[in-house]
């Protein structure tokens, strides 16, 4: 007999060799119907895997993150099987689950477009209806190489050549099989609701020197209602696409002449500057000083910082006076030089240095996406230099600052603590100390967080802030990175209370992350209808007819002189047309002026959401708007 320990601590006994599914059924028939896979001693396994010893046992459903991954990965195999039936000559590369759904990279014998997706979906429906059992088949690696070589599938052969294990596994579902470590759903019938969403090009293994494959994206759910809800969300996201709104609202754009290099227009600059002014105000209150550093710096600096060895492929370089220089991809080394320019005492610490530094990074053209992924952007960097005793207090202060900023925009967030990656600098002792300091600060503040093993920066562990927008999507923006390495590499020191030189500890941190990307997130979060304090145009003055032009100009000037961002629309168009256009442009307030307003010296105010607010004095309107802006209200 073997003992199976469940998550609640209870223990069940079974004959050795029992199927995982039988264990699940012994818990609950309903759970067995919902089960996607199981976790045995921390390892994901198929429902029909055999248990041959005592173990810890957990059942995963679609509601679990790992369960979703297995569900979506199995869906990618259903997609591949459908493609293999329609195009038998197709060759298959990889088909992983992703954050939302799945994709498969396929080498087709012909060109595939969006119009081909319904045909593939119809074949997928047949496969789901057939309820084909999905079976795992262990095979020796050398035999698998021989098998895929005979099939002419060079992609699978290349994958196998990079595997060192003697045994690998195939997953077979009827007339289709694939190289895969699994686990998978027990049958194709569980993939009841799905949708193929798009077609894109993708280089094999992300290398532009390799062949361009066709990537088909899809999403799947257990229930039709969940799929419909997701598709509705996608349609809403399309309406909020910052690239579309950026053009429609005349804020920003990216032209063919500069792929990945954004242009900001007058209204976009107003939005950007308002955001930056808010950032500067909050940082001044939090005890930061601001600096600016050059965009191009000598190769020696990047060698010293470690970026040349760890990041060179993403850097733009230039030769000046027969020496190699790099356009900075990040601001950290500049911050080292700012600190190193003069001696410091422990009494000067913590030193909080902030910089809105423009950086350039070489991103693959296929990865570029509006303002979300660009080659040139402005980081709201800050580098905090401190004594070891000040670490936890400074981390807490940064968390509070980021929390305060995000709350202004109505964002909630999740925290993730990332630990040491494989390709990193520094000793185990330093990494352990840095990681524990981050944990201590978060625990002391009562913050919930997840551990993300091995995803820290190459110089230190980090805390990432994943904020949630109005559609429930998450975006990684703020980050706090604790660094013992840079101060060492740059020989940074301070004089301690004992009169001796000591090494400071350093925090790298951003709040917005990238000004450009944060603007993109805000644009989609608000659907372009920014709150009044942030809106590029806060009000537009709309005289009903020529008879009121003179009064309209007086009102416009009074609002403008009071600091309001205001436009004057005296075009020869009907007032209804101009009001609708102002609403389409997401202007918070419309000031409509007719005979009554001209005679009484008042204004009629409309709000883009609240409609007609009635007549009021200019002074009352300005006072109301001033209060909204001072309180940073999300109206």
Query: Given 381, 464, 469, 483, which residue is catalytic?
Result: 381
CA 362, CA 368: separation in Å to the nearest integer?
10
The verdict on whether 272 is a catalytic residue reads no
**Can 243 be counted among the known catalytic residues?**
no
Rg (CA), the chain: 30
3-state DSSP of 407-437 = HHCCCEEEEEEECCCCCCCCCHHHHHHHHHH
Q: Pick the catalytic residue from 37, 55, 180, 332.
A: 332
Reply yes or no on whether 379 is catalytic.
Answer: yes
| HEC sequence for 534-570 | CCCCCEEEEECCHHHHHHHHHHHHHHHHCCCCEEECC
Task: Write down the catalytic residue from 68, 73, 184, 361.
Answer: 361
> Which tokens is 582 given?
């102002």
User: Which is the catalytic residue, given 195, 272, 375, 462?
Assistant: 462
The full DSSP string for 143-162 is HHHHHHHHHT-HHHHHHHHT
User: CB-based contacts of 486: which residues, under 8 Å, 6+ apart?
Assistant: 305, 332, 333, 336, 459, 492, 506
Q: In the chain, what are the helix, strand and coil shares in percent, each to the nearest 5?
A: 40, 30, 30
How many CA atoms, within 13 angstroms, populate the side-chain half-sphere of residue 282? 22
Our CA angle for 217, 219, 220, nearest 5°, is: 145
End-to-end CA, the chain: 65
The residue annotated as part of the active site, out of 328, 383, 517, 606, is 383
Taking phi over 0 as left and psi of -120 to 50 as alpha, with beta for the rest, 446 belongs to left
Identify the active-site residue in 81, 173, 379, 430. 379
Is 508 annotated in the active site? yes
Encoded tokens for 67: 């369960």
**What is the rounded CA–CA span in Å between residue 19 and residue 16?**
9
Is 383 a known active-site residue? yes
CB neighbours of residue 79 within 10 Å? 28
Question: Look-up: residue for tokens 């014998």?
Answer: 109
Other CB atoms within 10 Å distance of the CB of residue 562: 15
Query: CA-CA distance, 167 to 165, in Å (whole number)?
Result: 5
- Strands 539-543, 505-510: pairing is unpaired
- The residue written with tokens 């009907």 in the block is 574
Please give the full DSSP string across 568-593, using - where no structure is assigned. Answer: E---SS-HHHHHHHHHHTT-SEEEEE
Q: Name beta bridge partners: 386.
A: 505
φ, ψ of residue 320 to 5 degrees: the values are -130, 125
Phi, psi of 383 (to 5 degrees): -125, 125
CA 415 to chain centre: 13
* CB neighbour list of residue 567: distance below 8 Å, 6 or more residues apart: 537, 539, 540, 541, 587
Determine which helix (DSSP H) or strand (DSSP E) holds 625, and give its type and residue range. Answer: helix 618-630
For residues 248 and 629, give the distance between their C-alpha atoms in angstroms, rounded to a whole number: 25
Does residue 583 have an active-site annotation?
A: no
Asked if residues 20 and 40 have their Cβ atoms less than 8 Å apart, the reply is: yes
Active-site annotation holds for 502: no
Of 184, 242, 373, 508, the catalytic one is 508
Torsion of CA 204, 206, 208, 209, to 10 degrees: -50
The contacts of residue 445 (CB under 8 Å, 6+ apart) are 396, 399
Within 255-368, where are the H helices? 266-285, 299-305, 307-311, 332-340
Residues with catalytic annotation?
332, 361, 379, 381, 383, 462, 508
């Amino acid at each position: 007999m073997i003992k199976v320990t469940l998550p609640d601590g209870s223990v069940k006994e079974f004959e050795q060799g029992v199927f995982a599914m039988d264990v699940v059924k012994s818990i609950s028939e309903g759970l067995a119907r919902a089960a996607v896979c199981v976790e045995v001693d921390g390892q994901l396994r198929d429902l029909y895997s055999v248990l041959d010893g005592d173990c810890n046992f957990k059942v995963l459903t679609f509601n679990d993150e790992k369960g979703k991954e297995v569900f979506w990965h199995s869906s990618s195999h259903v997609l591949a099987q459908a493609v293999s039936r329609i195009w038998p000559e197709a060759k298959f590369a990889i088909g992983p689950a992703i954050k939302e759904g799945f994709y498969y990279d396929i080498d087709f014998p012909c060109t595939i477009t969006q119009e081909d997706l319904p045909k593939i979906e119809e074949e997928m429906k047949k496969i789901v209806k057939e309820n084909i059992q999905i079976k795992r088949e262990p095979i020796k690696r050398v035999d698998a190489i021989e098998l895929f070589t005979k099939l002419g599938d060079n992609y699978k052969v290349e994958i196998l050549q990079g595997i060192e294990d003697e045994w690998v596994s195939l997953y077979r579902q009827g007339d289709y099989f694939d190289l895969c470590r699994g686990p998978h759903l027990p049958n194709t019938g569980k993939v009841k609701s799905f949708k193929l969403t798009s077609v894109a090009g993708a280089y094999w293994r992300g290398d532009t020197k390799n062949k361009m494959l066709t990537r088909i994206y899809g999403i799947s759910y257990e229930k039709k209602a969940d799929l419909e809800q997701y598709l509705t969300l996608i349609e809403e996201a399309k309406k909020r696409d910052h690239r579309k709104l950026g053009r429609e609202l005349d804020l920003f754009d990216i032209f063919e002449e500069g792929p990945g290099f954004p242009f900001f227009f007058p209204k976009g600059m107003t939005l950007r500057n308002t955001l930056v002014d808010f950032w500067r105000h909050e940082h001044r209150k939090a005890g930061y000083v601001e600096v600016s550093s050059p965009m191009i710096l000598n190769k020696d600096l990047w060698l010293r910082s470690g970026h040349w060895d760890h990041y060179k492929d993403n850097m733009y370089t230039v030769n000046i006076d027969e020496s190699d220089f790099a356009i900075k991809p990040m601001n950290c080394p500049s911050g080292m030089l700012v600190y190193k320019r003069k001696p410091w005492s422990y009494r000067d610490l913590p030193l909080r240095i902030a910089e809105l530094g423009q950086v350039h990074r070489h991103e693959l053209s296929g990865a570029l996406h509006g303002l979300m992924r660009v080659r040139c952007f402005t980081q709201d960097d800050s580098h905090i230099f401190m004594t070891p005793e000040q670490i936890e207090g400074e981390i807490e202060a940064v968390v509070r600052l980021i929390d305060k900023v995000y709350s202004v925009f109505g964002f909630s967030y999740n925290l993730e603590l990332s630990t040491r990656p494989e390709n990193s600098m520094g000793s185990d002792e330093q990494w352990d100390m840095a990681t524990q300091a981050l944990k201590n600060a978060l625990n002391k503040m009562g913050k919930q967080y997840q551990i993300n093993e091995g995803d820290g920066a190459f110089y230190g562990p980090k805390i990432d802030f994943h904020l949630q927008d109005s559609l429930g999507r998450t975006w990684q923006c703020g980050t706090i990175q604790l660094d013992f390495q840079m101060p060492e590499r740059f020989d940074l020191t301070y004089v301690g209370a004992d009169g001796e030189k000591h090494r400071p500890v350093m925090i790298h941190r951003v709040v917005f992350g990238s000004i450009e990307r944060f603007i993109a997130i805000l644009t989609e979060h608000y659907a372009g209808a920014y709150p009044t304090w942030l809106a590029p145009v806060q009000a537009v003055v709309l005289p009903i007819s020529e008879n009121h032009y003179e009064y309209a100009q007086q009102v416009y000037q009074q609002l403008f002189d009071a600091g309001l961002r205001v436009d004057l629309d005296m075009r020869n168009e009907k007032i209804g047309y101009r009001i609708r256009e102002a609403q389409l442009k997401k202007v918070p307030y419309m000031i409509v002026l007719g005979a009554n307003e001209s005679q009484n010296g008042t204004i009629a105010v409309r709000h883009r959401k609240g409609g007609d607010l009635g007549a009021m004095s200019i002074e009352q309107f300005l006072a109301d708007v001033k209060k909204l802006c001072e309180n940073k209200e999300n109206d």
